[in-house]
Amino acid sequence: MILFKKLGFRLHSVLCGRSAVVLDLIMMLGLLGFGAVFLIDGDALINEHLYQKIATIDSLKIALSLWSVACFQAACFLSKNDFLVAFARLISGLAWAIISASFGGTYPPFHTAMVLPPILTMFAFLSGVAQAKCAYRAERCENLLQCMRERKGRE
């Protein structure tokens, strides 16, 4: 039982600590990279077997959508608001889940593009939820401290 508590604390510190910033950067750069590839040569790319599930969507719309999510995540990251960062991570996780599902739709055969997007999806959702919990706890602590100060001021 103690091992699980230690593992939970370590996972929590990974998802809310400095490594979460590295994860954010990897997710943002990955989305920007996917968007750039679709912008540069999206029409030829959609004709490939790996991308046949999204052939009905215009490549410019895909590129702009991915870039919007990445820019939104960057803006929330720079705002230093913990709730916005958590929300941006969840939105980024949704984008990675869609990318993962589009690669998973071409399943037979198994290929390398089916590995990284699900991992990024999992970490985005886990770190988004962990960040929201951290922000909620911090806000509750600040509210409690403020109430205690107000009570001392009345006495």
Exposure string (b/e) for 47-83, b if CB count within 10 Å is 16 or more?
eeeebeebeeeebeebbebbbebbebbbebbeeeebe
* pTM, rounded to two decimals: 0.76
Amino acid at residue number 53: K
Contact 91, 125 (CB under 8 A): no
pLDDT tens figures, 32-83: 988 888 888 877 777 776 666 666 777 788 888 889 999 998 898 888 788 8
Task: Say which residue, 141 or 125, is predicted with more confidence.
Answer: 125
Whole-angstrom distance, CA of residue 36 vs CA of residue 64? 9
